[in-house]
Amino acid sequence: MIAKISGGKDTAGLIRYLFDTEKAKDHLDPHLVASWDGFAPDPGRTDDFAAARKLLVADLNLHVKQARRLGRAPEKHTWHCSIRAAESDRVLSDEEWADIARRVVAATGIAPEGDPDGCRWVAVRHAPDHIHIAATKVRGDLRPARHWNDYLTADRELAAIENEYGLFQVVRGDCTAAKRPTRAEQEKAQRAGHDKPARERLRATVRTAVAAASSMEEFVHLLSHVDGVLVEIVHFPSGDVRGYKVAAEDTTTAGKEPVWFSGSELAPDLSFPKIRKRLENIEPHAAGQPGRRRPSPWRQATASMERIAHHLDRIDDQAAQAHLAAFGEALDALPLLAPRSLRSQLRKAASAFERATRSRVQAEHHHGRALRGAVRAMLREPAPKDGATLAMFLDAAILVAITATRWHQLRHQDQQVATAQRTLLHLQAAYDQAAAAPLAALASRRPPQETVDRHMLHLRQAVPDHLEQIIQDPAFGSLTAVLAEAEAEGHAPERLLQQAVDHRALDDARRPARVLTWRVQRLSARPAPSTRARAAQARSATAQPTGTREHAGASVATSQTPRARRR
């Protein structure tokens, strides 16, 4: 159920509208289903409609007129709340609608339960799927009604009503969503031939600029060089920067100013102070040390995203919210780096996850410094030529989307859950397309059957519950290829598999062989342990307590590579 609340200053006009059957097409059978005392005159159930309507207006206005004599009546003294059921809901009876109306006026403070001085109100039903509640906002003691945050309190009560009546559960927000375009903005965009209103287009542009910038100066510079976007910096009288506002050039008409939007009007997290706070928490990309290869920002970003799942499992909500915001920035920047064929799905993923980056939890942005720094470094370096790097990045992004969905579900943040789920669908579509070529290249390097059989034994030890699913996965050949290549470089395949499984459970993986393939490939990119390091691991294992010594010893024995065993 959805409530819509408004105010006015004409009781007679409101009642006239509610009982009108000529102009309003859906006013089929207007009649009262409930009122403040159960005895209000019903114009819809009387022969003298005009007299009953006049009497009803006089009864509703009684306290308003009394307060007006004392100078206490508010100018806008009417309260109008329409409540509409979902199309899939059953048709409710008049008695059920009456109960819903009483609960809503009680919850909102119009007529609290058990309060003899509550405001006067009536509930009018003129169609099967909705009612209208009309009230005057002066109490019996001639004080104004206490109905602050009436939309939120009505929405909470309707959520309880949906649950009790077995109705469709509406996805509700927490007042952190971006403002929707008005009807006028939507119609103007249609006339101009745009698929989105200026507000939504500017919001996407600003979010991309935030994801690419490393400072406020660079943020303003990037915005100023976007085609079709006007930028204006607002200053305090002292000269300090107060904020910014943007406008689309196509909203400018002859002789009129462009339609400007401040950052906070685009989205709550795009205000100038919040952007500045985020940009102050960016970790510089690590430079390569002499004699060592410079670390890849793509791999650093992938590793940071893989750790987000662990951060979301912890109690620190402020840190978790910061990691979600940083992940949202990574999605905003990704279309700038991906092949053209993937950009549409990636833009949709970024647009959907925007809602999942905001909640009532205040983010401590210093927790997302590493991912932000890696993303900025990605934008300043050539995109990788191999598709495997992008596939690994998207694989980690899918994991974040899954864990973000669960994190929001535990906090009953319905809108964020829905958008995180939509993000997951777009990321999976992009990943399927991006991973096809590199997986095929790996499968062409599948090792001999003898090596495959040996790796199957390793898989049986590491993931016994998923072995059959992994073998049947089309990417099984790619997995055996990366295991064989890692073993040739000096890694222990069973140890890599165990690390991959410990880092990410496979219960939520659609294609577990693909998940293990990218994880093993990323782990094998690290230098292989030397013979001395393996010997130290063996000594450490023999020093373990008796209860775990046999298992550890077996693990170390099987972790020796063929070359080490020959030695």
41-45, 353-357, 483-487, 553-557, range with the lowest pLDDT: 553-557
Q: How many CB atoms lie within 10 A of CB 125?
A: 23
Residue type at position 142: L
- Does residue 529 sit in helix, strand or coil? coil
Question: Do 56 and 15 contact (CB within 8 A), yes or no?
Answer: yes
Alpha-carbon distance of 510 to 202, in angstroms, equals 36
User: What are the structure tokens assigned to 61, written together?
Assistant: 């206005």
Instruction: Check residues 360 and 91 and name the one with the higher pLDDT.
Output: 91
pLDDT at 249: 86
**What's the angle, vertex CA 436, arms to CA 327 and CA 356, rounded to 5?**
20
**What's the angle, vertex CA 399, arms to CA 464 and CA 485, rounded to 5?**
55
pLDDT at 464: 87
Per residue in 171-180, is it b (16+ CB within 10 Å) or e — as a string?
ebebebebee
Among candidate residues 234, 198, 509, 212, the one with its CA nearest the CA of residue 377: 212
Alpha-carbon distance of 245 to 252, in angstroms, equals 15
Instruction: Using the predicted structure, report yes or no on whether residue 173 has a pLDDT greater than 80.
Output: no
Instruction: Using the predicted structure, report yes or no on whether residue 309 has a pLDDT greater than 90.
Output: no
DSSP state of 287: P
pLDDT at 560: 41
Question: Do 355 and 415 contact (CB within 8 A), yes or no?
Answer: yes
pLDDT at 543: 56
Alpha-carbon distance of 54 to 490, in angstroms, equals 92
pLDDT at 240: 85
Q: How many CA atoms lie within 13 A of 219 on its CB side?
A: 26
User: What are the structure tokens assigned to 103, written together?
Assistant: 């609960």
Taking the mean position of all CA atoms in its chain, how far away is CA 387?
27
Q: Which residues pair with 138 in a beta bridge?
A: 144
Residue type at position 40: A
Alpha-carbon distance of 360 to 365, in angstroms, equals 15
Alpha-carbon distance of 306 to 301, in angstroms, equals 9
pLDDT at 401: 94
CA–CA distance from 557 to each of 42, 46, 243 (Å)?
A: 88, 93, 63
Of 121-135, 188-202, 498-512, 525-539, give the range with the top mean pLDDT: 121-135
Pairing mode of beta strands 130-136, 78-84 = antiparallel
| 213-246: pLDDT as tens digits | 999 899 999 998 998 899 999 988 888 888 999 9
Among candidate residues 419, 223, 243, the one with its CA nearest the CA of residue 331: 419
Length of the chain in residues, anyone? 567
Beta strands (DSSP E) in 67-184 are 78-84, 121-127, 130-136
pLDDT at 561: 39
pLDDT at 531: 60
Query: Exposed (0-12), middle (13-18) or buried (19+): which is 53, by Cβ within 10 Å?
Result: buried
pLDDT at 562: 40
Instruction: Using the predicted structure, report yes or no on whether residue 563 has a pLDDT greater than 50.
Output: no
Report the pLDDT averaged over residues 23-52: 88
Residue 314 Rama label (left phi>0; alpha psi -120 to 50; beta): beta
Report the pLDDT averaged over residues 93-110: 96
Q: How many CB atoms lie within 10 A of CB 76?
A: 12
Q: How many CB atoms lie within 10 A of CB 543?
A: 9
Report the pLDDT averaged over residues 150-179: 90
Continuous H helices in 166-262: 183-192, 198-212, 216-224
| 497-548: pLDDT as tens digits | 888 887 767 777 778 888 888 888 888 877 766 666 555 555 654 555 444 4
CA–CA distance from 32 to each of 43, 93, 122, 508, 518 (Å)?
A: 8, 12, 7, 52, 65
Among candidate residues 434, 436, 435, 510, the one with its CA nearest the CA of residue 472: 510
Taking the mean position of all CA atoms in its chain, how far away is CA 139?
41
Residue 288 Rama label (left phi>0; alpha psi -120 to 50; beta): beta
| Strands of the sheet with 229-235, listed across from one edge | 229-235, 241-248, 261-262
Alpha-carbon distance of 344 to 522, in angstroms, equals 27
22-31, 354-363, 370-379, 525-534, range with the lowest pLDDT: 525-534
Report the pLDDT averaged over residues 166-187: 86
Question: Do 144 and 72 contact (CB within 8 A), yes or no?
Answer: yes
pLDDT at 556: 36
> Please, what is the average pLDDT of the chain?
86
Alpha-carbon distance of 431 to 298, in angstroms, equals 16
User: What are the structure tokens assigned to 215, written together?
Assistant: 């400072």
